[in-house]
Amino acid sequence: MNVSIKSDVIKWHIKKHIKKMMLNKVRPTIQINKDKENTSYQLYHSSYRSVDWNKPENHSENLYQDIVSCETEYPDKFINLIGYSSYNGNEYIADFYLIKNPHKQINFMYYLNYTLEYF
């Protein structure tokens, strides 16, 4: 079933989604956008992937807490969902950005197809 998600509820879905991913032991990785030209717009970028959590090199920070920190640190910005990818038949959020939102207004809509039972 395809579902339309308004941008003003994306934050909630991302938090819920990340909690679900962590319960399923699918660990996200964090990448900070270092491109100077885009830094002012695309301040925070993350991609998800499945990793072997037993390997020390795969240890990463808790992304859920990281997003909460970002929302606190950058109150004039919001998380913008970009797309999703498929892993083992399940659909996962693939990319999101923390972008400028100076007036705290969300004035656009994005759509994401996902399985209702996954959330």
**pLDDT tens digits, residue range 70-115?**
555 555 555 444 444 444 544 444 444 444 444 444 322 222 222 2
Q: Is residue 47 part of a domain?
A: yes
Q: Is residue 118 part of a domain?
A: no
Q: Is residue 113 part of a domain?
A: no
Q: Is residue 17 part of a domain?
A: yes
Instruction: Provide the domain count of the chain.
Output: 1
Which residues span the domain enclosing 55?
7-105
Contact 108, 79 (CB under 8 A): no
**pLDDT tens digits, residue range 2-31?**
343 333 344 445 555 555 544 444 443 333
Q: Is residue 48 part of a domain?
A: yes
Q: Is residue 83 part of a domain?
A: yes
- pTM for this one? 0.22
CA-nearest of 22, 44, 19 to 31 is: 44
Q: Is residue 119 part of a domain?
A: no
